[in-house]
Structures are given as structure tokens and as C-alpha cells.
Amino acid sequence: MEKERQVLVVFPHPDDEAFGVSGTIATHVKHGTPVTYACLTLGEMGRNLGNPPFATRESLPKIRKKELLKAAEVMGIQDLRMMGLRDKTVEFEDDEKLTNMVSDMIEELDPSLVITFYPNYSVHPDHEATARAVVRAVRKIQEDKRPKLHCVAFSKGCEEELGAPNVVNDISHVLDTKLDAMKAHNSQTAWMLAEMEEKWLKKDPEVMKRFQYERFWDYQWENDQVK
């Protein structure tokens, strides 16, 4: 993995980073690269309140904030920014406001790499709104001065339309960190991790294949349709 000057990660929800990019983040941190993670919401509308319930709508944001702090600690992130937007409403935020939020961070940090979702290939409306804002912010920068923009895509058929991912990071050396980052978001992940962790510890090939590699697409500026 190429050593970067500064990495900026922008996602809307706590745990978005854990499943898709936590191994990549941990690797950059191990390389001595500063990583800033801007999480736009606290995921207060998360569907999992437990059975029996362990949280209410009022208490869930506090729980997820603690989980996010723990995940950042696990990955070694020193600069975690909670941007204060509300879960499931990012798509309704003013486009210019969102874009300027990202632009301000890019101007401050001067990242060599920005990581977010790929517009139109990330399923959730909050994911899509975040991705569009990041694209708009990077697009405002003079082309030869833009940071690299690596995007996570996971919608059905994304590879057929986007082609194979441009970047595939083997994060086997930090797999335990990735698992711990996912476990940190216990309120949302406990139900699925119990069975998976057993397979993980046994090095089940299917599980290893799923989590050992983190995949990114370079944003295709020549096909840019974000408004």
C-alpha cells in the first residue's frame, strides 16, 4: 500500500468504516500516515435496539458515540470528527452546506487521499448524499492538484458497471484489528459477529476471502454525473 501524506475518510454512520476500510485505515496508521475520520452522524436511527431492548431512541446516540470512539481507538485514529448531522436525513441537507463541510476539511488537511462511498453504488440514501458531497468538493479543486479519491462500492452489479476495483488492499496483517473495529460497534454488529468470529478464528476460507481484501474504485471523473 502506497504511503500517503494524509488520509481523509468521510462516511455518514458509525460502523461504515469498520466493515469496508478499517484494515486500510489501520495500515495507513501503521505507516505513520495521519488519518482523519469525519463521521457525519451518530447513527441514532440504527434499527438494532436489541431483543430484549438494550437501548431507546434517546440513549442509542450515546451508545453509538462510545462505540465509534472505541473503534477509532482500535484503528489508531487520532483525529476523529463527529460532524453532528442527523442519521437518515443527510440526503435532505443543503448540497452546498455538505460540499462546503468537506471542502473546509480538505483545505485544512491537504490530504493526498480521500476515501468515501461511490455515488450511485452505495445503496443507502445517506451513503449516496455523502458520496456526492465528497465528489463535489474534490471536483472544485484544480485537476492536477486533486487528492486521489478512492470509493467503496457494494451495490448489486457494481462491478459489471464500474469494472474491477482499481485498488485491492490485502489487509491480512491487520485482520485482528479489523475484527476488533467491527466488534467495537457492538450494538449493531453483535448479532452477526458471534457466528462469524468462530469461523474467523478457524480461518474459514469464505470468511477470509470476504474480509481479507478491501476494495476501492478510483472515481471516474470522465464519467462524472454528480450534480
Does the predicted TM-score (pTM) go above 0.75? yes
Dihedral through CA 140, CA 146, CA 147, CA 150, nearest 10? 70
Residue 185 burial by Cβ neighbours in a 10 Å radius (0-12, 13-18, 19+) = buried
Q: How many Å is the maximal CA-CA distance in the chain?
A: 54
pLDDT reported for residue 50: 53
Assign domain 7-219 to its CATH superfamily.
LmbE-like (3.40.50.10320)
- Would you tell me how many other CB atoms lie within 10 Å of the CB of residue 160? 7
pLDDT in tens, 98-135: 999 999 999 999 999 999 999 999 999 999 999 999 99
Beta bridge partners of 38: 10, 81
Beta bridge partners of 169: 214
pLDDT reported for residue 149: 98
Radius of gyration of the chain (CA): 17
pLDDT in tens, 18-77: 999 999 999 999 999 999 999 999 998 866 665 556 677 778 899 999 999 999 999 999
- For 47, 90, 91, 114, the CA distances from 97, given in Å and listed in that order, are 27, 11, 12, 19
pLDDT in tens, 152-166: 999 999 999 999 999
